[in-house]
Homo-oligomer: A and B are copies of this chain.
């Protein structure tokens, strides 16, 4: 079959969807078609919650009905080749799709681990595919011992969730000394570790899994310290790599960190092809160096830039790279990080000062369900500009880290932050006298 479209988007994750909905707003007359290769996708950040919090894993399906309402067509198929001269995409089902503009939103693929036994039954990766994940959830619920490799966000969140299933014992193995080490300084990582340990997760840091043992099915894992642990299920959460198979096949330029090379406005080396999200190369907000950050926040920001700029550059890019902003929720504590940590700032060679503050998140703190908030901010010592922030506390920290994210994106100084005007309310925030973002900025300013 021969299909005609104006805008062809490959992939229906958050990047593909947001590119489509943004393009629909800015180019109302254009035909938009999305090709997705899995029958039913999932909300990426909801994956851990399919194990316990959601009554039914199906609730985490990334539905495409809203797209059809917006006159965005979606077909399930796979683009296997592209004729860039003729502007025709060839699909697995044998269709040909003629396009004016093409967007690669092919995402990333979970990384495997090159150790003996990794191919055994009972070892799972986190694919963004409902059918696959439903089976993993089923297996986990009927297991006794689950071991998770990788103490990043996925690993910690999955460990937290699975530990709530009655009768399932959870091990979390991390090669580095701390959990979530890419996004948090050790004092925040320790909070996560304590929370996981307190709900029964066996956290093994500074540890590698060196072999997976069993006949066909996993039965034990061998650790770098020589110990063997009996397990029924192993889940790998050690990160992902950009999915650029098709991009490479058609000769698009690939960057150093294996993402598709893009310009400021998400255009690839072919002026009619864009790339957004996990498959596209990212740059760091502070150094402009290529980095490998795979976050929905970055993907959707890129997609909104791309979607508006497909035919004409309408939206001038103001944010100059990823600030790697992230939040998580582990056994009742919320953690958020944005920009550089103290550790990464030091590694990059920034001259910094840090400020720290703690305050109850309600006032008076005797109000029901008050939590303590801890805030750490990192500033350029000489310039006074904020480089990063970390928070830990109650539910309000989910948006508090986004406030810090805005401050970073607008390059606020400690002076601006220490004299910030913010709304405070007994039930909603710390007291105006103790607002921790302000006090952390003041703490840093005082060290000058």
Residue ranges of A at the interface with B (Cβ–Cβ < 8 Å): 14, 17-18, 21-22, 25-26, 43, 45-46, 49, 53-55, 59-60, 295-301, 304-305, 308, 315-319, 322-323, 325-329, 334, 336, 338, 363-364, 366-368, 395-403, 405-407, 409-410, 412-413, 415-416, 418-429, 431-433, 435, 438, 442, 445-446
- Bound CA span A240–B424, Å: 19
Whether B301 lies near A45 (C-beta < 8 A) is no
**Shortest Cβ distance from residue A391 to the other chain B in the assembled complex, whole angstroms:** 10
**Shortest Cβ distance from residue A55 to the other chain B in the assembled complex, whole angstroms:** 8
- Interface residues of A, dominant DSSP: mixed
Whether A367 lies near B406 (C-beta < 8 A) is no
Residues of B within 8 A of A334 (CB): 428
Residues of B within 8 A of A315 (CB): 415, 418-419, 445
Whether A398 lies near B429 (C-beta < 8 A) is yes
Could you list some 26 contacts between A and B, CB below 8 A? A22-B442, A45-B425, A45-B432, A46-B363, A46-B364, A53-B367, A54-B364, A295-B423, A297-B423, A298-B421, A300-B432, A300-B438, A304-B442, A308-B418, A318-B413, A318-B416, A319-B416, A319-B419, A326-B423, A327-B428, A329-B428, A396-B399, A399-B428, A399-B429, A402-B423, A409-B421
Whether A395 lies near B364 (C-beta < 8 A) is no
Q: Which residue of B lies closest to A46 (CB)?
A: B426
Copies of the protein in its oligomer? 2
Whether A43 lies near B423 (C-beta < 8 A) is no
Whether A297 lies near B422 (C-beta < 8 A) is yes
Q: Most chain-B CB neighbours within 10 Å: which of A304, A413, A419?
A: A419
Whether B300 lies near A425 (C-beta < 8 A) is no
Residues of B within 8 A of A305 (CB): 419
- Bound CA span A432–B405, Å: 14
Whether B364 lies near A421 (C-beta < 8 A) is no
Residues of B within 8 A of A428 (CB): 327, 329, 334, 395, 397-399
Whether A423 lies near B325 (C-beta < 8 A) is yes
Whether A407 lies near B405 (C-beta < 8 A) is no
- Bound CA span A433–B20, Å: 11
Residues of B within 8 A of A296 (CB): 424, 432
Residues of B within 8 A of A397 (CB): 399, 428
8 tightest A-B CB contacts, nearest first? A398-B428, A399-B399, A296-B432, A327-B423, A410-B410, A300-B432, A403-B403, A325-B423
